[in-house]
Structure 1
């Protein structure tokens, strides 16, 4: 049984197998920036994980899974107890491996396949994996894609801002206040933000609030507490915002 605890140091690249599966439960954790030669599929049925990539942030709530291609630098952080499943694929053996970061909705069938493969022995013969892995990739590529990533500004002008963003209580300021962090005019900030992220600062701030809302809701925080933490005028205003961006109420989203 491939089950590890939070104190186990694990490197899938040292294991010579076509598919390496693990099941783990961790509390507060920061993986540090790292990468794998294998592709990785992560699914957290309990809790929420945050990922930092070279130029973007991503949150992984329950009911979603994320694919991280080989040689993709990433950093995973968790602030509450998270139960997760991770599958590592030798992509030379699987043409179906995506070459970009992909997040998908996890159906009941895909969930069952992930749970099964996560507990495979690491010396399982390839021929015994074939039917299950073929069904897995069919389900994965047929799943609805999600987009819970946030591009980050890249220039050194925004370094302090991006460092503050990693703090738990961070809330992006209004554009008029962002000048205090960046040391530039609102006109310059607006132009650079659009150039470096492809989004206006206002749209970026709204996307950040959405991702933070998902993270807080995944920790079983009450809607009223999340609405207050993200500076919404009322619970109903927050629920309307959340439904506009996801098509679901906060409760529907978290519980699938």
Structure 2
């Protein structure tokens, strides 16, 4: 069984991680906001994974066992909040939109680690106000509990460009497309196309953070053309893939 580190206080700090670096599974008694000012961050729990570029932050509720991984050179900003302070009343990991103001507030607040005084308290109050208006983003890639569904998802995770139909994938794992379609809905709360698109977007963010050219990302993630990839990416993240590969 994997050992889970228990660090009661969720730190507020800035730290840098090299591409590929990991922070092993751990939990806090506090809530935590996790934000990548540069690079792309993935957070994994038993319930699935979340990937966040610089326009997103991840809310990790108190007590949640989670692990981090850096994609690209990562500038990680962590904001710890006591368990009683939950401005969004969220009890599950959630991706939040980060606009220009919230971004600067998070960066400024985490860079004043250890400081105290009225100026920092005012900064914290404005940060919490901005969090309360943050829009939740549907960028969660849930982990299936059904063995049949897990087999299908494992095939796609090993090759996101796999364009086989659900029926073709079902033949490989020994299940009908009707059964699998029902499992996607009941187990993961989304359709097969929705889950596969989410997987591809997660993979695309990681490739872009590693400076992979946009055309190559589109091909490796299974889009029929670069323009189709750009369109889906823009609708999901509000910016073009090129903005994430710099």
* TM-score when normalising by structure 1: 0.79
Q: Deviations over 1:101-142 (max 9, x none)?
A: 3322323322222122212343x4576643221111011222
DSSP 3-state at the match of 2:197: helix
1:119 aligns with 2:107: no
Structure 2 counterpart of 1:4: none
Structure 2 counterpart of 1:75: 67
Change (3 A) 1:158 1:30: farther
4+ long deviations beyond 6 Å: none
Residue of 203, 213, 216 corresponding to 1:212:
203
Structure 2 distance, partners of 1:222, 1:150, is 24
1:29 aligns with 2:21: yes
DSSP 3-state at the match of 1:220: coil
Shift of 1:185: 2.1
Change (3 A) 1:79 1:131: closer
Give structure 2 stretches of 5+ with no counterpart.
none
Q: Deviations over 1:178-216 (max 9, x none)?
A: 226633222221111111112121221122212222332
Structure 2 counterpart of 1:91: 83
Residue of 91, 97, 103 corresponding to 2:95:
103
Q: Deviations over 1:234-255 (max 9, x none)?
A: 2222223333444543235x38
Structure 2 counterpart of 1:58: 50
Structure 2 distance, partners of 1:231, 1:99, is 33
Structure 2 counterpart of 1:6: none
Matches within 5 A, 1:226-241: 226-241=217-232
* TM-score when normalising by structure 2: 0.82
Structure 2 distance, partners of 1:170, 1:32, is 25
Change (3 A) 1:128 1:241: closer
Structure 1 distance, partners of 2:22, 2:151, is 20
Give structure 1 stretches of 5+ with no counterpart.
1-9
Structure 2 distance, partners of 1:23, 1:246, is 24
The two structures, once aligned, show a CA RMSD in angstroms of 2.9
Change (3 A) 1:239 1:51: same
Structure 2 distance, partners of 1:74, 1:132, is 27
Structure 2 distance, partners of 1:26, 1:216, is 17
DSSP 3-state at the match of 2:8: helix
Structure 1 counterpart of 2:144: 153
Matches within 5 A, 1:162-201: 170-171=160-161, 173-179=164-170, 182-201=173-192
Tell me if the contact between 2:160 and 2:200 (Cα under 8 Å) persists in the aligned partners.
no
Tell me if the contact between 1:22 and 1:118 (Cα under 8 Å) persists in the aligned partners.
yes
Matches within 5 A, 1:40-59: 40-59=32-51
Count residues with an aligned counterpart.
239
